[in-house]
Amino acid sequence: MNKLSELAKYLVDLKDQEFIELVKKRLDDGDDPMEMIQECNTGMVEVGMRFERGEYYISELIMSSEILKKAMVYLEPLMGDLKKGPSKGTVVIGTVKDDIHDIGKNIAATLIKGSGYEVVDLAKVLGLSALLNLTFPSMKAVVDALKEAGIRDQVTVIIGGAPCNEEVRQSVGADHFALDATKGVKICQQVYGK
Amino acid sequence: MTLQTELGMPLPMAGYMLAPFDNLADGLRGLNGIMVDIFKQPDKVMEACDAIIPHIVNTALALADPLRRYPIFMPLHRGNVPFLSPKQFETFYWPSFKKAMNMLIDAGYTIRAYLEGDWGPNWHHFREMPKGKIICDIDVQGDIFKAKEDLKGYQCIAGGMPESTLILGTPDQVRERTKLLCETVGQDGGYIINGGCSIPYDTKPENYRAMIDAVLEYGRYKDSIDFEPQINPNPPEGWKPLPKGMVTPWQVKRDELGEIKGDENLIRIGWETLEHMAFNWLWAWIW
């Protein structure tokens, strides 16, 4: 586990006032914004691990990402063309047809982004998110479409959300299922090797 | 409704309410908003939950079964792990929820609490409520066997049949699961077999048939049904109704109108009936 900088520690401990003041101070002192973002990423990974250990709950996950958003207001404009630092890989994620629930997907996307991936399109990992069990046929349709397009083996498909389990995974033909966001991040790390 | 009017089947529920915290979170602050609120302004969150109670109870009673046959439904979103920690649940979610439930029970109603997700660390609180007044739907993520242990003798539990088995499984798998449930959580009453949430639209008909057959074979308490539906149009004695919620109270309109010739009540009664309907309609949207 990487050592946490003071900035990362404030983020992990949800001390939003101290965090923002340190961001401003370090920018005034001429610190590299990219480095600061990397430190924040490390912090978010630690938040994810505390969630896995049952020390943190979704309340803390959301609070930490809201604090991070505030920092990005200062840091993002300074990034210019460099975006948010080197991306570890790209992940596409979406809620499946006939479902409208997106909270789980948003949490997963935030954590995956926070762990250093680009969450956009054209990717090696495809995430399908749902809450309703009537979406199983839609999930299968997506996997079948990948087969028809001849790219099924180029893409790792992860299904997520409350109704997913091993039986569902086999039935729709996905590669993995993840019942929470941190598992999703782990699978991305396996695929991209980092 | 067809099942009720043509075949005499009871409805599983009538009317609904959210826990005050869920109402505040889903309808008014959003998920991100409420999570930041519990860190940055916890006192206001608790105050807001209390302030919401009379409005949502008002609306729930307006929509409930007038004959008090069926429970009032409550889909409960944020009371599960991992949204809130058990400590956050006890501080922010439970106190106002308990007050609101008690107001419905005092008015003569029962409650159907759908415990979405895994309520395992928190459902023991239902032992604080009047016995036998609540059905707790135990979702697939919750442990139905533990729920029976924790709530036996206090409240009814429902669930136990995973939706994915009904949709994707075989009649033999359904039968085996039903037998297990009848022989364990079905013992000593207080259990309704169901999906974690409900019986899904895509259930294979042969699976549903297998479940019914298995219940008839393994789940009999006795061979006759001597049950009378409880029909009760009246609230318990001594119950005081809540003031009816209005969008614009009559007094405000009256002041606007100035002098009214003739019997004011002719207008007031119509006005208040419509305002009360509008009030309930608006509050029903906040979720």
What local confidence, expressed as pLDDT, does residue B175 receive? 97
Residue B231: inside a domain: no
Distance from CA of B122 to the nearest CA of A (A): 14
CA distance linking residue B62 with residue B56, whole number of Å: 10
Number of structural domains found in chain B: 2
**Residue B240 carries which DSSP code?**
P
What local confidence, expressed as pLDDT, does residue A122 receive? 41
Would you state the structure tokens that stand for residue B225, as one six-digit string? 């049904």
> Is the pLDDT at A194 greater than 50, yes or no?
yes
H-run or E-run covering B241: none
> Is the pLDDT at B245 greater than 60, yes or no?
yes
Say whether both A32 and A112 belong to one domain. no
Say whether both A32 and A68 belong to one domain. yes
Model confidence band, residue B46 (pLDDT cutoffs 50, 70, 90):
very high
> Is the pLDDT at A121 greater than 50, yes or no?
no
Neighbours of A4 (CB within 10 A): 17
Please indicate if any CB of chain B lies within 8 Å of the CB of A59: yes
> Higher model confidence: residue A23 or residue A179?
A23
Say whether both B194 and B278 belong to one domain. no
- The residue out of A82, A109, A133 marking a domain boundary is A82
Interface of B with A in 229-268 (CB under 8 A): none
Say whether both A42 and A124 belong to one domain. no
Option in A54, A171, A180 nearest B168 (CB): A171
What residue numbers bound the domain in which B91 lies?
8-218
A67-71, A185-189, B42-46, range with greatest mean pLDDT: B42-46
Name every chain A residue with its beta carbon within 8 A of the beta carbon of B84: 57-59
H-run or E-run covering A82: none
Residue B16, beta-bridge partner list: B73
Say whether both B179 and B47 belong to one domain. yes
The SS3 assignment for B50 reads helix
pLDDT tens track for B110-132? 999 999 999 999 999 999 999 99
Name the least confident of A86-95, A115-124, B46-55, B212-221: A115-124
Give pTM, 2 decimals.
0.83
Residue A143: inside a domain: yes
Say whether both A78 and A94 belong to one domain. no
Q: What is the CATH number of the domain that holds B22?
A: 3.20.20.210
- The residue out of B201, B218, B235 marking a domain boundary is B218
> Is the pLDDT at B285 greater than 60, yes or no?
yes
Residue A1: inside a domain: no
Residue B213: inside a domain: yes
Query: In chain A, which ranges are continuous DSSP H helix?
Result: 6-12, 16-28, 33-52, 58-75, 103-114, 136-148, 166-172, 181-192
What residue numbers bound the domain in which A61 lies?
6-82
Interface of B with A in 15-54 (CB under 8 A): 31-32, 35-36, 38-40
Across chain A, which distance is largest between two alpha carbons, in Å?
A: 56
Residue A19: inside a domain: yes
Say whether both A59 and A120 belong to one domain. no
Neighbours of B196 (CB within 10 A): 26
Say whether both A12 and A33 belong to one domain. yes
> Higher model confidence: residue A183 or residue B136?
B136
> Mean pLDDT throughout A65-89?
74
Using the beta-carbon criterion (under 8 Å), do A59 and B88 form an inter-chain contact? Answer: yes
Say whether both A104 and A56 belong to one domain. no
Say whether both A69 and A156 belong to one domain. no
Say whether both B209 and B257 belong to one domain. no
Option in A62, A134, A171 nearest B35 (CB): A62
> Mean pLDDT throughout A28-36?
88
> Mean pLDDT throughout A150-169?
90
Residue B205: inside a domain: yes
Please indicate if any CB of chain A lies within 8 Å of the CB of B142: no
Model confidence band, residue A37 (pLDDT cutoffs 50, 70, 90):
confident
Residue A142 and residue A110 in contact, taking contact as beta carbons nearer than 8 Å: no
- The residue out of A82, A101, A116 marking a domain boundary is A82
Say whether both A94 and A152 belong to one domain. yes
Residue type, B100: A
What local confidence, expressed as pLDDT, does residue B8 receive? 81
> Is the pLDDT at A1 greater than 70, yes or no?
no
Query: Which of B34, B118, B164, B201 to probe by mutation at the A interface, max A CB count within 10 Å?
Result: B164
Residue of A nearest to B26 (CA): A103
Distance from CA of A39 to the nearest CA of B (A): 22
Name every chain A residue with its beta carbon within 8 A of the beta carbon of B32: 62, 66
CA B206-B220-B167 angle, to 5 degrees, is 25
Name every chain A residue with its beta carbon within 8 A of the beta carbon of B85: 57, 59
Average pLDDT, chain B: 92
Q: What is the CATH number of the domain that holds A139?
A: 3.40.50.280
Closest CA to A104 of A33, A12, A181: A181
Say whether both A71 and A98 belong to one domain. no
Residue B108: inside a domain: yes
Please indicate if any CB of chain A lies within 8 Å of the CB of B84: yes
A8 to each of A26, A36, A54, A62, B20, how far by Cα in Å?
13, 9, 20, 16, 35
Say whether both B165 and B267 belong to one domain. no
What local confidence, expressed as pLDDT, does residue B204 receive? 95
- What crossing angle do the helices spanning B42-63 and B94-106 adopt, rounded to 10°? 20
Residue B227: inside a domain: no
Residue B224: inside a domain: no
Residue B50 and residue B99 in contact, taking contact as beta carbons nearer than 8 Å: yes
CA distance linking residue B241 with residue B235, whole number of Å: 9
Using the beta-carbon criterion (under 8 Å), do B32 and A180 form an inter-chain contact? Answer: no
> Mean pLDDT throughout A173-193?
88
> Is the pLDDT at A84 greater than 60, yes or no?
no
The SS3 assignment for A70 reads helix
Say whether both B205 and B161 belong to one domain. yes
> Higher model confidence: residue B129 or residue B227?
B129
Name every chain B residue with its beta carbon within 8 A of the beta carbon of A168: 164, 168
Using the beta-carbon criterion (under 8 Å), do A165 and B164 form an inter-chain contact? Answer: yes
Residue B230: inside a domain: no
pLDDT tens track for B142-155? 999 999 999 999 99
ipTM of the complex model:
0.80
Number of structural domains found in chain A: 2
Interface of A with B in 109-168 (CB under 8 A): 133-134, 136-137, 162-163, 165, 167-168
Name every chain B residue with its beta carbon within 8 A of the beta carbon of A59: 35, 38-39, 83-85, 88
- A/B interface, count of CB pairs below 8 Å: 61
Whether residue A137 is preceded by a cis peptide bond, meaning omega within 30 degrees of 0, is no
Distance from CA of A150 to the nearest CA of B (A): 27
H-run or E-run covering B144: helix B144-151
Chain length of chain B: 287
Q: What is the CATH number of the domain that holds A47?
A: 1.10.1240.10
